[in-house]
Amino acid sequence: MKYVFFINMGGAENLQDCDVFLKNMFSDEYILPIKNKLLRSFVGFMIRKSRLKAMQESYKHIGGKSPLNDITKKLCSKLDKDGFCFDFINLYVKPFVIDVLKKYEFKEDDEIVLFPLYPHHSQTTVTTSVVKVKEAIRLLNINSKLSVIDIFYEDELYNEMLIKQILEANESFYPNEKKVLLFSAHSLPMSIIKRGDLYEKHINEHVKLLSKRLETYFDSFLLGYQSKLGPVKWLEPNTGDLIEKLDKKAIICPISFCIDCSETVFELDIEYRKVAKNEYKVLSCPNYSDEFIKFIESKI
C-alpha cells in the first residue's frame, strides 16, 4: 500500500481553534526562529495576543471556520486509486500528525509519500512540514519506505492547469477589456529571506514563467505579498496596496496557495475589496479540480 499524506498548516474549524492555531504556529522554531525557547514562547504569546481577535473576526465573515479542511477531505476522497490511501495532516490544528499516523498499521513494504501542498520551497512551510512528520514517524517506530514530493512550481502539468484557469477567467470577466494579472503570494519576514530561504526566488521564477506564457493576454503583470504580521519588515509590495492603486480591472491569482483558506476567501476576496477602486476577480485555488488531481497522480 502507498500512503499519500498531504501536509498544510491547517485551518481553524471554529473560532476557538484560532487560538490553538496561533499558539502552535508561533511555537514553531521555523516560523519564529528564536533559539531560546522561553524567549520564543514569550514573543509567540505576544504575537498571538495581538492577532487573535482580528483572526476570529475575519473567520466570522466566512462562516466561522476555514474551508481548508473540508476541501482537503474532498480532494482525498476524489483521489480513489487502487493500492493507494490518501489522507492529510495539519501542523497547527487538528488533524495533527501523530493522530493521523496512528490510524494506520504500516508494514515494512508499504510506502509513505509526504506531499506538502506548497508549490515553492520555504523553511517555514516545506521544511518544517517534513521535519515534523519525520519526527513523528521515528517516534512511532514506523519502518515503511518514505519519500517526499518537494516543490512543483516548474511542473508543466501544474502550470498548464494554472494557465487554463487564468485564461478561462480572462474570457469570462470583462472579456473585451485588457486587464492586469496580479499574482498574490503569502509574505515572509525579510529576516527569514536574508538567511537564505528560497521562497522569494521561487516565487519570482514562477511569476516570470507564467507571465511569459500569458504576455499577449494581459495589459500588465504584478506581484504582491499578503498576510503580513507585526511591525518587522516583510516581503513587498503589499497586495492590498497594489489593489488600491489599480487603474484597470484585474484578475488575482493566489500563486502560493493550493487550497482555499482564509487568506484567499477572506483577505483577497473580501477584505481588500474595501480599498479597491476597480473591480477584480479572485481565482479559486486548485482545490480538488480534475486538473489538480491529474497533476497529483502524475507525481505519485
Does one domain contain both 26 and 148? yes
Q: What is the CATH number of the domain that holds 78?
A: 3.40.50.1400
In a domain, 136, yes or no: yes
Starting at the edge strand found earlier in the chain, the sheet holding 2-8 runs: 84-90, 2-8, 111-116, 145-148
In the predicted model, is pLDDT for residue 292 greater than 90? yes
Q: Do 163 and 256 belong together in one domain?
A: yes
Residue 19 DSSP SS3: helix
**Rounded to an integer, what distance in angstroms lies between the CA atom of residue 24 and that of residue 257?**
20
- Give tens-digit pLDDT for 48-86: 999 999 999 999 999 999 999 999 999 999 998 899 999
Residue 187 lies in a domain: yes
* Rounded CA separation 237/225 (Å): 6
Q: How many CB atoms lie within 10 A of CB 109?
A: 9
| 67 lies in the same domain as 208 | no
pLDDT score at 216? 95
Residue 143 sits in the same domain as residue 98? yes
The answer to whether the Cα torsion of 272, 192, 112, 82 is positive or negative is positive
Query: Do 116 and 32 touch, CB atoms closer than 8 A?
Result: no
Neighbours of 172 (CB within 10 A): 9
CB 253 within 8 A of CB 166: yes
- Residue 281 is predicted with a pLDDT of 98
On whether both 203 and 270 belong to a single domain, the answer is yes
Q: Which amino acid is at 168?
A: E
Q: What's the domain count of the chain?
A: 2
Domain co-membership, 275 together with 186:
yes
Q: Say if residue 18 is in the same domain as residue 144.
A: yes
Position 271 confidence tier, pLDDT thresholds 50, 70, 90: very high
- Regarding whether 64 and 51 lie in a shared domain, the answer is yes
For residues 187 and 224, give the distance between their C-alpha atoms in angstroms, rounded to a whole number: 8
pLDDT tens digits, 152-181: 999 999 999 999 999 999 999 999 999 999
For residue 194, is it within any domain? yes
Q: What is the pLDDT of residue 81?
A: 86
For residue 230, pLDDT over 80 is answered with: no
| Same structural domain, 27 and 135 | yes
pLDDT bracket for residue 231 (50, 70, 90): confident
* pTM, two decimal places: 0.96
Residue 266 lies inside a defined structural domain of this protein: yes
pLDDT the model gives residue 80: 82
Q: Report whether pLDDT(229) > 90.
A: no
Mean pLDDT for the stretch of residues 18-27: 96
Query: Is-contact 140 172, C-beta < 8 A?
Result: no
Q: Which residue has the higher pLDDT, 37 or 214?
A: 214
Report pLDDT for 125: 98
pLDDT tens-digit series, residues 76-129: 999 988 999 999 999 999 999 999 999 999 999 999 999 999 999 999 999 999
Question: For the segment 238-269, what is each residue's pLDDT rounded down to a tens digit?
Answer: 999 999 999 999 999 999 999 999 999 999 99
The rounded mean pLDDT for the chain is 97
Instruction: Judge whether 177 lies within some domain.
Output: yes
- Does one domain contain both 10 and 147? yes
* Residue 117 belongs to some domain of the structure: yes
Contact 226, 263 (CB under 8 A): yes
Residue range(s) defining the domain that contains residue 246:
156-282
Q: Are residues 126 and 102 in the same domain?
A: yes
Residue 289 covered by a domain:
no
Q: Based on the fold, state whether residues 79 and 107 are members of the same structural domain.
A: yes
Residue 288 lies in a domain: no
